[in-house]
Amino acid sequence: MRKNILITGASSGLGRGMALEFARAGHNLALCARRMEQLEAVKLACERLNPAIQVAIVTLDVDDHQEVFTVFEHFADRFGTLDRIIVNAGVGKGAAIGTGHFQANKQTATTNFVSALAQCEAAMTIFRRQNAGHLVTISSVSAVRGFRRAMTVYAATKAGLGALTEGIRVDVLDTPIQVSTIYPGFIRTEINEKVKRVPFIVDTETGCRALVKAINKEKANCYVPVWPWAFLQYVLRIAPLRWLAKMS
C-alpha cells in the first residue's frame, strides 16, 4: 500500500476529490496548494472521513519552482518517506493564438508544463534517493490532439506532460520506481464550471473515484473514466479537424 501520498493543487477540484478518496482508504496525506483557507477545509474533511490518518498541509504556488523542492522535501522529512506523488496542479486559462492574450497563454504553459517539470524533478529526487515511489502526472484526454481557442495551449501542455512522463518512465524502467500518466476525460470542476455543453461529463465525485481507481492500478497510461474515454481516445486520434472544431 502506498501509505503516504503527496498531492499538489489539493485545495479544490480533482486534487480535493482525490484527497477525500485516499482519506477514505486510509492513506496519510501531504496536501499543498495556494489557498490555505481551502486547504484547511480539505484537511478537516479528510480527518472527519478517517480520524486515523495523518494530514499535513502547506501553501505552495507551483510557479515558485524553488519552493516546490522545499515543500516536497519538507513533506518527505515530515512523513519519513513519500510513497506516491501526484502532480495535479494546473490552470485552464488561455485564448486563441494571436488574439492578444499571450500572457494568459504563457501562464497556462508555465503552470501546466514548466511547473509540472519542477514537481517531477522534486518528486524523482526523493524517489531516486528512496529507490522507491510512484510518480503520477495528471494530463488530459485533450493531449491526444490539438484543440482550438482556449484549449489550444492547454492541450499542448498536457501533451507535453504526457511525453515528459513517458521519458521519466523509460529512464527508471526495471527499477522499484513506478511512473503513471492519467488522462481524465471531462470531469466537472472549477476549471470548466462555466462551460455548458460538454460531452460525457461526470460530476467531481464520480470522476475522482475513477481517478483514484486508475492511479492504484499503477499502469503506465490510463484514460478515465474508462467508459467512454478509453475508446474515444482512439476516435480522437483519427477524427477530422472539423469534428474537433465542434468539440472545443
Task: Give the residue numbers annotated as catalytic, written as ranges.
Answer: 154
Distance (Å, rounded) from C-alpha 90 to C-alpha 112? 5
Which amino acid belongs to residue 226?
Answer: V
If we measure between CA atoms, which residue out of 73, 24, 68, 78 comes closest to residue 47? 24
Give yes or no for a contact between 182 and 136, defined as CB atoms under 8 angstroms apart: yes
DSSP state letter for 92? -
If one counts every other C-beta atom within 10 angstroms of the C-beta of residue 140, the result is 25
> Which position has the grid cell 492574450?
101
Q: Tell me if 88 sits within 8 A of 8, measured CB to CB.
A: yes
Residue keyed to cell 467508459: 227
Instruction: Determine how many CB atoms are found less than 10 A away from the CB of residue 98.
Output: 8
